[in-house]
Structure formats: C-alpha cells, structure tokens
Amino acid sequence: MLCAMPASLLVPTLALALLVSPTPGVRAAPPAPRWEPANTWALVAGVLHWSDPALAPFEANNRKDLELMNVLAERGVPPAQRTLLIDRHATAARVREVLAEQVAAAPPGTTFIVYFEGHGLFDQRRRFVLATSDTHTDHLDHTGLDLAALLPILATRGARDRVLLFGDACYSGHFAALASALTFLGVPALSLTSASEESASSENWTFTQALIDGLRGRAIVDRDGDGAILLSEIAAEARDAMRHREGQPIGWAPLAVGDLVIANAAPWPPDLAALAPAGNLFSRGDWVVARRLDGERGIGRVLGVDPDGERGTRLRLEYYDYADRLFGWAREDRADPVMFYVYPPGTRVRVSFEDSVYAATVVRVEDGLHLVSFEGPAPGAPEPHDPTLPADEFVTQDQLLGHLDPSEEAVQRVLVEAGGALYEALVKGRFRGKVCVRYPGSPLVEDDCVPESRVTPDTRRP
C-alpha cells in the first residue's frame, strides 16, 4: 500500500534478486512439497487508519486483509491457529505478543504465515519500520514496528518449520532481511512483498489480490497449466500485476524454503472456458491498454478471446480499481500493448517526485522499471520544500518527464497529431504497423499506438 512520508525518512537499501531461471542441462529439482493448511499458524495485520494524522489513511471498502484471512479459513487453517489484527487492534506490542503466543504454541513442523499491510517507512536512524496503528512519525524510533523485533521470536523455531513473510507496504522488500537472518539461524524462511527495498508501493490492493488469487487456485495463476499452483507462480503473478498495473517491482526472496505447492488450480469458469485462448494479436494473460465501459482507458488483463464478434475479434478483459475487479470487452484492433519506454543506465532525466521536479540519473533498469539517483532540483524547477534529496528510488513511467538534455533524445522524440493538435512524445516501439508512443508526464494509460501518418520528427530542439 502507499506510503506518504517526508523524503528525509525514505532511505532504501539494495534489493534482493528474483529467482534465477534453471540452467539448461542441470537435473530438475525434486517436486515441490505441498503446503499443509492444518499445520499452519497465521498472523494477518492490516492498518488503514492511524492515530497520527501525518499518516495518510486508506478507504476500508472491500479490504483485502480481511478477505485474505477468510481465504486462509476456507483453505483449512484452524480458527485457533489464525489471528486477525486490523486498525486499532494492530499495535506494535500486540503484533509481537500474538506472534510470540503462536510460536510458543505451535508444534514442530509448522508453517508460519506473517502478513502485514499498511505504511512502510524509515525512522530517524534510517531503520525500516512498519507503521502499526499506534505509530507516530515524530517518534518512529520507538513507535514503529522494527522487523528486527520479530527475529528473536521466530528464531526459537527449528529446521522442520518454515516462515512465510508477506508484506503489502512501501519498501517492504526489507522483509527479505528478516527472512535471510532466520534462514542463517536455521529456520527456513522466505519473503514475498509488494515492493522492493528501493520502491514505494501503490495505494491499491493489487499485490494482496494476487496473493488471494493464488491461495484460491485461480486458473490464470497456473502459469504452466499443470493443475498445481506453486508459490513461485504466485510471485510471478504478483510481479506481473505490480509491473503492469502499478509500474513497480516486487520483493521475492525464496531462500531456503524454495517452492511450495499452494493450491490445485480451479477450472476456468464456463463463460471464460468457452472463449478462445488467443486471437490474432493478443492471448490470454496479456496486458493491454483499452477503453473501458465508462469511457476511460485502463490497463486490462486478457482472460479470453471471442473471434466471432459482430464488429471483429473481441477481448474479454479484467480491470482492477483499488479493491474491485471489473470486467469488460474491447475490440482487439483497438487495444494497445502495455509497453515501457526505457532510458539506458547513465541517462540523466527529469523526475517528478513528491510535488517537485528533480534532475536524476538512471542507475538500473529492471523489466522497464527505472531506479534513479537524485541530483537536485531540475533546471528551471522551483526549489523543493524539503532540501534533503530523496534516496535512490524506483519511479514509475508517469514520473519520468524526459531526458534532462533534450538533444539526447532527438532520435526518439516525435510530434503526434491528434484532433488537429500536436503532442510531444517518445517512441516506445512498433506494433501491428503502428508507432507506439509515450507522452512524458502523462499517465501510462494515455500512451497509444498511432499510424505513421500522424507521427513526424520533432526538430524544434537540437
């Protein structure tokens, strides 16, 4: 979930890498063990409102932390082995207390699930902390929940146990440090989070929804179609959803736990099973930008294709708004692929960040997502209210406003005609004979693919 904190408190560190693909020729790993809900103890803590007004609240409609707990119940985690702490009940002390009770009561061979949703931020000593309901930004050093405080509790377990850490919060990739420490101490642990150590998280429930879909066995999560949904497939679902819908990287550190079979894949609903899996341009699982029923363009997931529509091939699309799943149809020839404009590492760019515009340098690019290092206010931009530079951060496409030196982008910079007006754009690529462009500073959903006849080189600047 989103965190809205002063830049001086945001000091992310290095992110852990994703799973490495198997090397050709290496013997296949043995089958993954199956998760056993009856031998699982779960703590789900979610905070949408805080006593400190400096911490921005979230809407509570259709909250997914509650749904996650309900799904764990549906899957067979016994009532005495699951605890839900939401809002005012989710204090730092109560989280530690409940976890200690579970750890003391559970027999050997237990799987522990620890999930937190809310704000993630950094205290005055540059430690990552979770904003429990009693957290105050003026005293983060002793009111925020330091993940290190959970280590001595969980470290009392043994090699027959496993700890699964899930976080839906800004910079929640720091959960990996706790998982790594537990693994080093002989307690197998992993972490899967909505953000890396160097990225904020969106204000939507996108990540937790992916986790819920995997636990429920939703067919689209079964990437290889073998009927079993692995924890790594849930991570892949979360990674794709966060990348395409939110423009952000996740955190995924499987460590010693490796993979787990989480659920049997459910069959496709009859209406979707009746659709074709692929059309002429897009296939089931692809991400596209298309016009929704309300007239707004949005990012949708292809669930199936109707090749016999009266007006041509149609795509059955799934959209997601905050906590609600929406469905619609779009003509295939009017949908555009979700594409990212990539600035190579070392490129100096203008970046919008917390109501200010900065000069920054691209440090690293992962799947079209840019980690940047801030240098100072961009030329011509007003001085920010906070003189402290933000730490290195992954930024979305919408935050990237273009090269700092316009001459560097002369080859890619174009003008696009629309409705008699010309708009500055950058060429992302080509698709079905059209030019796909990015309008710097505009939402990603405003990008489109246009005929060559509407595109001309922008030669107004050197």
Size of the chain in residues: 462
Contacts of residue 94, Cβ cutoff 8 Å, sequence gap at least 6: 85
Query: Structure tokens of 387?
Result: 């003189």
The answer to whether the pTM exceeds 0.85 is: yes
Query: Structure tokens of 301?
Result: 């997931």
Do domains 270-335 and 409-457 share one topology? The answer is: yes
Q: Which long-range contacts (CB under 8 A, 24 or more apart) does 281-286 make?
A: 281/332, 281/333, 281/335, 281/432, 282/315, 282/332, 282/335, 282/337, 284/220, 285/220, 286/337
Domain 270-335 CATH (choose: 2.40.10, 1.20.58, 1.10.10, 2.30.30): 2.30.30
CA dist 51 and 447 (Å) reads 40
**Torsion over CA of 13, 19, 20 and 25, rounded to 10 degrees?**
160
Domain 7-11+32-264 CATH (choose: 3.30.1230.10, 3.40.980.10, 3.40.50.150, 3.40.50.1460): 3.40.50.1460
**Domain coordinates in residue numbering, the chain:** 7-11+32-264, 270-335, 348-405, 409-457
Q: Looking at domain 409-457, which CATH architecture does it have?
A: Roll (2.30)
Q: How confident is the prediction along the chain (462 residues), in pLDDT tens digits per residue?
A: 656 443 333 333 333 333 334 455 556 567 899 999 999 999 999 999 999 999 999 999 999 999 999 999 999 999 999 999 999 999 999 999 999 999 999 999 999 999 999 999 998 888 999 999 999 999 998 899 999 999 999 999 999 999 999 999 999 999 999 999 999 999 999 999 999 999 999 999 999 999 999 999 999 999 999 999 999 999 999 999 999 999 999 999 998 888 999 999 999 999 999 999 999 999 999 999 998 877 889 999 999 999 987 778 999 999 999 999 999 999 999 999 999 999 999 999 999 998 899 999 999 999 999 999 999 999 999 988 888 899 999 999 999 998 887 666 555 889 999 999 999 999 999 999 999 999 988 999 999 999 999 999 887 655
